[in-house]
Chains A and B, each alone.
Chain A
Amino acid sequence: MIRILKLYKIFIVQHLKKLMEYRVDFLTGAGSFFITQITNIVFISIIFNQIPSLNGYLYNEIIFIYGFSLLPKGFDHLFTDNLWIVGWYVVRKGDFDRYLTRPISPLFHTIVETIQFDALGEIAMGLILVIYSSIKLALHFTFINIVLLIIAIIFGALIFTAIKIACAALAFWIKQSGSILQIFYCTSDFARYPITIYNKVIRGIITYIIPFAFTAYYPANYILRNGKPLYCIGGVVLMSIILLSLSLIIWHKGINAYESAGS
C-alpha cells in the first residue's frame, strides 16, 4: 500500500512536470474549464428558475441532487481519466505493450499516468451547489450524515470507474471502444435529476443495470427525504463492489485476449 502511494506520488509529480512543459495548453485548459462551468451555472439557473418544482422536488432540492451528482463523477474524472485513451487509442495502436512489460498492475499503471485537473472544476461546482442548496433548504447535517455522504461519494466514484474500466476493456476484443464508453458515460446525465421523473424502464436501468442513480439520487434522497441509509448508502457500496468486481474480471480476460499490433 505504501509502495502504491509512493508510485502514485511519483507519477503525479511527473504528470505535473509534463503539464508545465506545455504551459500554453495547461493555461488554456484551465481557462476553458472555468468558462464551461460558468455557462453551466447560468444554464441551470435559467432552466430551474422556470420550474419551481418538479415531481414534488423543489428547485433547491433539484440543485442539491444536481450538485451532489457532480461529486462522484468529478472524483472519478480527476483520477481515472486515462481509461478513455485505452478505449480510443492505446489498445488499437498496440501501445498497451508498454504497460504489460512493467512489474506493476497494468490497470494501476494506466490510471496513474494522468490526473485530470479539469475535474477540480466539477468538484468545486458540485460543492458550491450542494452547500448553497443546503443553506437555502435549511438542511441540518449530523456527523453521521456527513460520514455517510462521503462514503457515498467515494463508492459512487467507484461506480463510474468500474463502468469505465469495463467499457475500456472491451477494446481488447473490439480494438476501439471509446464510443461505447461514451454512451455509458452519458447515461450518467440521467442521474442528475430526481429519477421519479422518468418512466419505469429508464428508472430500472439507471438503478439496477447501469446504477448511476446510486451516485446521486439515492444518497441525496437519504438527506432530502429521510431515505433508509441501508438502501440509499448501502446500495451505493454494494453496487460499486459488484460492478468493480465484474469490471476487473472483464479487464483481466481482456488482457489475455489482447492482440497487440504489428510492428
Chain B
Amino acid sequence: MIKVQNVSKEFKKVVKESGLKGSVKSLFSRKYDIVKAVNDISFTVAKGEILGFIGANGAGKSTTIKMLTGILTPTKGEIEINGQIPYKNRKKYVREIGVVFGQRTQLWWDLPLTETFTVLKEIYQVDDARFKKQMDFFNEVLELKDFVKSPVRTLSLGQRMRADLAASMLHSPKVLFLDEPTIGLDVVVKSNIREAITKINQEEQTTIILTTHDLKDIETLCKRIIMIDKGTLIYDGSLLDMKNKFGKFREINLSLQNNSDINMLRFKEDLNLNSDDFQIKSNKEKITVIFNSQKIGVSDMLSYILTHTNIADISVNDVNIEEIVRRMYK
C-alpha cells in the first residue's frame, strides 16, 4: 500500500549572525547550511493499518508526512502509495488521500461549515447519495450537528478539529494522514476523536498514518509505531515491544518543603538501583524522579520518598514519549 524507500529531505538554511547587524550582513553575503530534516528513511505500511509516527519536536515527522502527501518533493529516495508517486501525479494522487494538519485548518475560515462541505463535494466530485451517507456517518461519530451552521472562525478548537477530520474524509480516501490530530484538545474531545478514527478505520478499511505527542493516542489507536529522531528512523515495530524495552520507566514529580531534602534521596545506596535505572532532575522547587518500575515498584518508591523527605506536593506520571525517545537514542 505504502512503500517508502531511502527517502531524504534536505533544506537549505541561511546562516545568520544574531542581531540586526547580522541580519543586515546576511542581506549581502549569505552562508547556507544544508539541514537534513529527514535522513534515509524506509518503511512499508499495509492496507487498513494504523501507523503511529512519534518523535520529539523537529524530529522530521511533519516533513515525512508532507512528503507522503505530495506537498514536499523528497531530495532523495522513492515513495509509492497506491501505486502512485505523490509529488508526480499529485492531482490524481490526492484524490485518494485525506489530510488533517492539527495546527492548521483546511476549512474555509469565513464560511459556515456546511458551505465548506458543499465546496469539497464539488472539488472531489462526490455524488449526492455518497455525500449524504458520509454526512450521516460524521454526524454519528463526530457529532457535527450542533455547529454545522456556524462560521468556521467561531468554532472551538475541538469542534474545528472534528470538522477538519470530517472534511478530510468526505471523499472516502484510501489513506488518511493525521498530523497531530489531538493537539491542544481536552480529554473528552481527544477520546471522541480517537473513537472516530477507530470507526473510520474499521468502516472503510482506511489506512491511517498519524503523528502525535500523546502516548494515549498511540496506545488506543496504533499497533505499530515508527519513531524518528533527528530525521533518522530509530524504531519500527509494535507498541508492546517498545513499551517492554523503554516504557517501563515511570516518573514522580514532587516539590519539597525543604529543598535540601533532595540529598536524603540516596537511591543507589538505599534501594540498590543502578545509575541506569533512575534519574533525578531538579528545577528550582520542582523535582522529577524517573525510575525503572520493574526494578522497584511505584508504591515502594513512593513510600521511600515519603519517609525520607517532607513533601509539599507529589504526582506519579507515565514517562512521556520524548523521554522514551531520549532514552532510546542514548
Binding site for A on B (CB under 8 A): 11, 58, 62, 66, 69-73, 87, 90-92, 94-95, 97, 99, 101, 103-104, 106, 108, 110-111, 115, 118-119, 122-125, 151, 179-180
Structural contact, B124 and A97, CB atoms closer than 8 A: no
Is B124 touching A22 in the complex (CB atoms < 8 A)?
Answer: no
Candidates B72, B111, B179; contact of A263 at CB < 8 Å: B179
Asked if residues B62 and A263 are in contact (CB atoms below 8 Å), the reply is yes
A262-B90 CB under 8 A given contacts A14-B119, A18-B110: no
Picked from B103, B106, B118, the residue with its CB within 8 Å of the CB of A101 is B106
B124 lies within 8 A of A103 (CB): yes
A103-B92, A263-B62 known; A95 vs B111 contact (CB < 8 Å): no
4 more A-B contacts (CB under 8 A) besides A260-B72, A263-B103?
A18-B111, A21-B111, A101-B106, A258-B71
> How near does chain A come to B89, taking the closest CB pair, in angstroms?
10
Cβ-based interface call for A242 (8 A): no
Partner of B71, one of A3, A100, A103: A100
Residues 103-154 (chain A) with a chain B CB within 8 angstroms = 103-105
- Count CB-based A-B contacts (< 8 Å): 69
**Is A100 a contact of B90 with CB atoms below 8 Å?**
yes
CB–CB B115/A17 < 8 A: yes
CB interface residues, A 77-113, toward B, < 8 Å = 94-95, 97-98, 100-105
| A259 contacts across to B, CB distance below 8 A | 11, 72
Given contacts A18-B110, A95-B104, A100-B70, contact A6 B151 (CB under 8 A): no
27 residue pairs bridging A and B, Cβ less than 8 Å apart: A6-B122, A7-B122, A7-B123, A10-B122, A14-B115, A14-B119, A17-B111, A17-B115, A18-B108, A21-B111, A21-B151, A22-B110, A97-B101, A100-B69, A100-B70, A100-B94, A101-B97, A101-B99, A102-B94, A102-B123, A103-B91, A103-B95, A103-B124, A104-B123, A262-B58, A263-B62, A263-B104
Chain B residue nearest to A9 (CB atoms) is B122
Contacts of B110 in A (CB 8 A): 18, 21-22
Which of A11, A97, A98, A258 is B119 in contact with, Cβ under 8 Å?
A11
Known: A97-B71, A258-B72. A14 touches B123 (CB 8 A): no
A226 in the interface (beta carbon within 8 A): no
Which chain A residue shows the least CB distance to B61?
A263
The distance from the CB of B102 to the nearest CB of chain A, in whole angstroms, is 8
Q: Is A55 an interface residue (CB 8 A)?
A: no
Chain B residue at minimal CB-CB distance from A93: B104
